[in-house]
Amino acid sequence: QVTLKESGPGMLQPSKTLSLTCSFSGFSLSTSGMVVSWIRQPSGKSLEWLAAIDWDGDKYYNPSLKSRLTVSKDTSNTQVFLKITSVDIADTATYYCARGPRYFDYWGQGVMVTVSS
């Protein structure tokens, strides 16, 4: 069955770089048409799509954050990574990875990230 799971630092200080990992199983990112996205949700608020990477290694970013985001995948096509540079308090949120080229049929459980000094 398809599963995704996010992992990250939990808490980090402003101006640092946030590194997140999405580990998944039940599908391969090498399959044509497959895409994994990162989406975040501040507590009590709506969802914001951040970035995606597809089976061919093409990357897509939300223009509002593009200068700070880097999405990548491992060579075994079972993990996707997201780096966010220069974090501040506004980056405090639950971060999800999800499968899907357009809409998202499988989501991870999310990892909560708090930016605090």
- Whose CA is closest to 53, among 26, 22, 25? 22
If one asks whether residue 63 binds another protein (CB under 8 A), the answer comes out as: yes
- Which of 30, 41 has the CB closer to another protein? 41
Structure tokens at 71: 């999405």
If one asks whether residue 38 binds another protein (CB under 8 A), the answer comes out as: no
- Which of 91, 110 has the CB closer to another protein? 110
Provide the b/e sequence for 101-116 (b: ≥16 CB within 10 Å): eeebebbbebbebebe
Q: Any idea how long the chain is?
A: 117
Binding-site member from 8, 34, 59, 60 for another protein (CB under 8 A): 60
User: For residues 61 and 37, what is the distance between their CA atoms, to the nearest angstrom?
Assistant: 10
- Which of 29, 39 has the CB closer to another protein? 39
Binding-site member from 13, 64, 72, 85 for another protein (CB under 8 A): 64
If one asks whether residue 110 binds another protein (CB under 8 A), the answer comes out as: yes
User: For residues 39 and 71, what is the distance between their CA atoms, to the nearest angstrom?
Assistant: 12
If one asks whether residue 27 binds another protein (CB under 8 A), the answer comes out as: no
Q: Cβ distance 47 to 41 under 8 Å?
A: yes
If one asks whether residue 112 binds another protein (CB under 8 A), the answer comes out as: no
Which positions lie near another protein, rule CB under 8 A?
37, 45-49, 60-64, 96, 102-105, 107-110
